[in-house]
Amino acid sequence: MSAPPIIKAMGLTVEFRGRRSLFKPESVVQAVSNVDLTIEQGETLAVVGESGCGKSTLGRALLRSTPIAHGRVEFKGRDITRLSGRALRDARSQFQMIFQDPYASLNPKMSIYETLAEPLLVHGATDRASIRPQVLDMLSAAGLDPSFAERYPHEFSGGQRQRVAIARAAILRPDFIVCDEPLSALDVSLQLQILKLFTALKQQFSLTYLFISHDLARVFGFADRIAVMYLGKIVEIGTAADLYRAPAHPYTRALIAAAPSPNPHRDIPPAAATLRGDIPSPANPPKGCRFHTRCPQVMDVCKTREPTMSDLGNGQRAACHLLTQPPMAG
């Protein structure tokens, strides 16, 4: 691994500003707050968390699709934080994004062929004769019959549309694909099919994914590493196996305990792992550790001081005071 990582983020912060009015001062929401992250070539990093945790915003910021307030993003060792105009567009030919809703992300007036040919044309395919075989090959790789090429999105089911969206993203052989909840709009029986397609394409084209999901159970068997986010912060990151066998942050443990399983014999999760109450508003996150209002193991220090990341070995890191100053034994 001497090559630089595909993506490296340092102190990445994204802010949204609420509108100032006569009655309200300007409010600033830190959707992503001081995030450090690296993604190696060929890796799948899943970002997991509940609504408002900033996982989608993080994905967009890495692709420079949303303004970055502080920190920097490197793509293959090159700082892209301040790129603009043509340089930014060139960099973006190496990035792709797949969205949650395949009904909204495909242009209804473009045939499947046009949908897949467009990225090739935009990013400078000069040999028009080579486009058609590329499109047809990509359709078969995505599990679609090449004879579908002349059809339009409305003729397809949700699962097939998501295959089209994936084919469109993969056709440029991008270095990095952000997948933003690509399974959430699909029925259970189709989710697994699409997940298998992601795995197959990754192997075929050696892709690198950032896979955003709210479904921790789904990503354990799919991702190499998992980052757990809560209110704009990464609270824990590590390999899927380490996070499953030895989750270090109480929030990671709570997510595992809360996920249902089709097994009536499964043990009832211990009370120490279950959460009470709703997620606080990201506009006004709690002081100290942002998780302390819901944490079953909250200590006094958590209410005033923000925890820093502890290194737990094998690349596993978590931000929790329990790891640096455990409560009194007894």
Partner 1 sequence: MSDAVLSVEGLSVDFAVGGSIIHAVRDVSLSVAQGEVLGLVGESGSGKSVTMLSVVRLLDARRTAITARAMSVDGHSILDLRPRALEDVRGPVVSYIFQDPLTALNPLLTVGRQISEGMRRHKGLSRTAARARALDLLRRVGIPAPELRINQLPHQLSGGMRQRVMIAMALAVEPKLLIADEPTTALDVTVQAEIVRLVQSIQREQGMAMVWVTHDLALLARLADRVVVMYAGRIVEDALAEALYDAPAHPYTAGLLASTSRIDDPFSEQEPIPGAPPDPRVVHPGCSFAPRCSRAQARCQGEVPALEIKADGRRVACFYPLTGSQT
**3-state secondary structure string, 188-214?**
HHHHHHHHHHHHHHHHHHCCCEEEEEC
Choose, by CB under 8 A, the member of 38, 193, 239, 297 that binds partner 1.
193
Nearest Cα neighbor of 14 from 53, 63, 71, 52 is 71
State CA 33 to chain mean position distance.
15
CA–CA gap between residue 304 and residue 288 (Å, rounded): 4
Smallest Cα–Cα separation from 95: which of 159, 55, 39? 39
Question: Of 144-163, which residues contact partner 1 (CB under 8 A)?
Answer: 157, 159-160
How far apart CA 29 and CA 46 sit, in angstroms, is 24
Look at the block and give the residue holding tokens 């009470």: 276
Within 42-81, the residues that bind partner 1 by CB under 8 A are: 50-51
Q: Does residue 180 sit in helix, strand or coil?
A: strand
* 24 in contact with partner 1 (CB under 8 A): no
User: Binding residue for partner 1 (CB under 8 A) from 87, 88, 258, 272?
Assistant: 258
By beta-carbon proximity to partner 1, the closer residue of 63 and 112 is 112
Helix and strand element counts for the chain (H, E): 10, 12
How many residues comprise the chain? Answer: 330
Write down the least CB distance from residue 279 to partner 1, Å.
7
CB closer to partner 1, 243 vs 318: 243
- Answer yes or no whether residue 190 interacts with partner 1 by CB under 8 A: yes
Contact by Cβ (8 Å): 289, 302: yes
Least distance from C-beta 227 to partner 1, angstroms?
A: 17
314, 238 Cβ separation under 8 angstroms: yes
Stretch that binds partner 1, among 84-92, 97-105, 257-265, 304-312 (CB under 8 A): 257-265
Q: Between 94 and 100, whose beta carbon lies closer to partner 1?
A: 100
Query: Residue 295 Cβ, how far from partner 1 at the closest point, in Å?
Result: 12
- Contact (Cβ atoms closer than 8 angstroms) between residue 66 and residue 15: no
The answer to the question of residue 10 lying near partner 1 (CB under 8 A) is no
Contact at 8 Å (CB) between 208 and 90? no
Tell me the site size for partner 1, rule CB under 8 A: 44
User: Could you give the string, one character per residue 97-126, with x where binding to partner 1 holds by CB under 8 A and - elsewhere?
Assistant: ------------------------------
Judged by beta carbon, residue 83 or residue 217, the one nearer partner 1 is 217
Name which of 104 and 258 has its Cβ closer to partner 1.
258
Nearest-approach distance from CB 249 to partner 1, in angstroms = 13
**Residues making contact with partner 1 (CB under 8 A):** 50-51, 157, 159-160, 187-193, 196, 214-218, 220-221, 240-241, 244, 254-266, 268, 274-279, 294
